[in-house]
A and B are shown apart, each in its own frame.
Chain A
Amino acid sequence: MKTLYFDHCASTPPYEQVVRTVGELMNLHYANSGAIHRAGAEAMKLVERAHASVAAACGAKPEEVVFTSGGTESNNLAIKGTILASSRRGTKHMITTSIEHSSVHGVAKQLERMGVEVTFVRPDASGRVSAEDIAAALRPETVLVSVMHVNNETGAIQPIREIGRLLSVYPQTRFHVDGVQAVGKLELDWASSGVDLYSASSHKFRGPKGAGFLLVREGVRLEPLLAGGGQEDGVRSGTHNVPGIVGTAQALRLATETREERAAKMHGLRRMLIGLLQDMPELVLNAAGDESVSAPHVVNVSYPGMRPEVLVHMLEKHGILVSTQSACSSKSLKPSRVLLAMGLDEARASGSIRISFGDEHTEEDIRLLAERLRLAISKLKPLERS
């Protein structure tokens, strides 16, 4: 039986080219990019070219790209780095949402314990926060607003552009966007976005793990979280992960060049899947908005009355790999924080699975997925608890 991997929100299969690139670079360019000898200089040149390449893909300047170890680090650096660099005396205030990934939500909680005041803005029932609610939460002491671009459980697109426009008249307030689920799927118009900081993780767009980047708008100062050799303009010390960095640049270029046709194809698959799911009365779709407000690669669905991991394991027996909630929080048995925040009841919030797909999938795969899902439900149906 063919195994179908439907967990692209958690991680994606890397491009073959990227796998080759990373391998070759590990073989050929192992020198430390900080060394002054020829081999070091060559490694450094590759890092510089990667800066230029990522910048070109995002419409940013090369010096606005800071390579990191991935999404979690980018988010930590953006948020803590901003709070620590803020010269504001007295209370510092931060606005975020109650649907952020744990690498933003957890940081906000951590900062709260350290004395930073945090407002968690709640989304509406469709899983989107509103720019008006963000505006209403603004205070004179607001140092940072952090809102994700695409939610990792529901795929709901947040109104980044509106919030960016809104914040453009508050030069003291930085705007961070966790773009981990959006890069390579949605267009980012960095130059006119009004966003100051944008996080990305390579393995979410078919790049290598342990690599990612943070876009930092020119003139925005961050206190580094890692002190050391002063790499990446002193913002992110640590020996450059040359294979990871170059692999990131290559994967991003491949993803960006083909973004529109890939997004169109994934939207097609998503429409098809949603249509098929509507024929399964046991399941309820969560935050399945139209294409203007939903990312093309995620469908979130609940089986009220069924523990989601049971469904996940049952599907796995039939060769389908999906996740409960987000991969990072799926081991906890608690209901989804994101779905609860949307106002869904406990049964729905506790029973959700996330189906996320990518470039390798075809309509045939979606048909197979629906078929096996139907089979799994029929086996589980007698065990439903009300």
Chain B
Amino acid sequence: MIYDLVVVRLGEVTIKGRNRSRFEGMMLARIRQALAAVEGLEYERTYGRIYIRLNGVRFEEVEEPLKDVFGIHSFSPAVRSGHDLEEVRAAALTLMNGLEPVPQTFKVTVRRAWKGYPHDSQEMNHLVGAHVLRNTPALKVDVHHPDAELKVDIQQEGVYLSCAVVPGAGGFPLGMNGKAMLLLSGGIDSPVAGWMAMRKGLEIEAVHFHSYPFTSQQATDKVITLTQRLAHYGGRIKLHLVPFTELQTRMVQSGHEHLIITLMRRTMLRIAQRLAERSGALAIVTGDSLGQVASQTLGSMNVIGRTIELPLLRPLVMMDKREIIRISERIGTYETSILPFEDCCTLFVPKSPATNPNLRIVEKVEAGIGAELEKLIEEAVQGTETMILTTEGRADRAAAAAASAEPSDEDRWF
């Protein structure tokens, strides 16, 4: 089946009154970005929709990339016809005949968005349906559970006919709802939290804490790979690598073994908040899921969360592990997440970490470390290395490498 265009229905953005035009503009930019590799497409913006003219490109080529674009409610491959009734009928028939598997039953749904059209939707429904029935003897009408629903959408500029509806990713166009920092550990949960935040229109910058030599370079590489995967959904993502060794070893020596995780998580949030201020981000996103580990009990969340002022967003808080894993498989982070490199939270895990830490004691321990804590936090922030990642790798390095004509050893070997 050769389709003329793809009708993209925008999701939640359509509910936002006055800013609508800006949102549609953003959506168009995101869709163009996602389909940049496909040549020959043309785009058209109308109220709540975007039309992608295929110009001979196969629908299958745009289908997969479109599924990953946030802010799309659904999309359909469609044929376009003029307003002339016979033309609409002929297009309907071609479309129905091109369906695979061949449907046994169908129904027609007409939407007359352009009220100037001479036939109303009831009439049109009959006029188109009868024509298809007459010319397709094996086909029957079933208005309740049809195998195929032929949608006829009458707009002022033409009539769009489509059968298949592909659900989109939903959400908001990326960046529409501002920016947040994502704590990215390398496990299964945090990339999923990042994806969910991005789907809600948040631009994210990832923050990862490493404790070389207690963690390995591979653990950091793993986080880079995960960020690259997330960049598939967001074009490019900043990753901040925070040196955490000094802070971690200092806390391990604080003498409160069961509070180590609590202290570390609080410190991480504080560092993330500093980085957020620097980047203009207005929230911190974490992969916490209620009750999953000691630091994610309600008691721990209370004590840990109090350390910062920015809103702490926990997209996974009420989700089961199974659901989280399912999403991580779908978004392509699972395989990387399960690689066996330890992050800095899994090292020095006490035998019995506090599940209900006492805020006052925690604050006292922190006070005991005193000015040194502040100094170490500041050093960690200063020592943070930032890289910009795309699905291809390091965008900042790539630019530098492109500038120097010498190919790297590695590229020469492949």
Chain A positions near chain B (C-beta within 8 angstroms) = 21, 24-25, 28, 36, 38, 41, 45-46, 49-50, 53, 246, 249-250, 253
Contacts and interface: CB of A to CB of B under 8 A. Distances in A.
Contact of B410 (A38, A41, A46, A253): A46
Contacts of A41: 216-218, 221
Nearest to A36: B216
A49 B414 contact: yes
B413 A24 contact: yes
A246 B413 contact: yes
B409 interface: yes
A43 to B, nearest CB: 12
24 contacts: A21-B412, A21-B413, A24-B409, A24-B413, A28-B409, A36-B216, A36-B218, A38-B217, A41-B216, A41-B217, A41-B218, A41-B221, A45-B221, A46-B410, A46-B413, A49-B410, A50-B414, A53-B414, A246-B413, A246-B414, A249-B414, A250-B413, A250-B414, A253-B414
Contacts, number: 26
Contacts of B413: 21, 24-25, 46, 246, 250
Nearest to A28: B409
A253 B412 CA distance: 12
A250 B217 CA distance: 27
A24 B221 CA distance: 25
A235 to B, nearest CB: 17
Main secondary structure of the interface of B (DSSP, over half): helix
A329 to B, nearest CB: 35
A15 to B, nearest CB: 12
Contacts of A28: 409
Nearest to B221: A41
Question: A-B pairs with the 7 shortest C-beta distances?
Answer: A21-B413, A246-B413, A53-B414, A41-B217, A250-B414, A41-B218, A36-B216
A25 B414 CA distance: 12
A246 B414 CA distance: 7
Interface in B378-414: 409-410, 412-414
A24 B218 CA distance: 24
Contacts of B409: 24, 28
B342 to A, nearest CB: 11
Given A28-B409, A41-B217, 8 more contacts: A21-B413, A25-B413, A38-B217, A41-B221, A46-B413, A49-B414, A50-B414, A53-B414
A21 to B, nearest CB: 5
Interface in B334-383: none
Contacts of B410: 46, 49
Nearest to B218: A41
A25 B412 CA distance: 11
Interface string B214-227: 00111001000000
B297 to A, nearest CB: 33
Contacts of B412: 21
B406 to A, nearest CB: 15
B145 to A, nearest CB: 31
Interface in B218-258: 218, 221
A49 B414 CA distance: 8
Nearest to B412: A21
B394 to A, nearest CB: 14
Interface string B193-221: 00000000000000000000000111001
Contacts of A249: 414
Nearest to B217: A41
B218 to A, nearest CB: 6
Contacts of A24: 409, 413
A46 B408 CA distance: 13
Nearest to B335: A63
Interface string B277-312: 000000000000000000000000000000000000
B15 to A, nearest CB: 40
A234 to B, nearest CB: 14
Contacts of A36: 216, 218
Interface in B254-284: none
B335 to A, nearest CB: 8
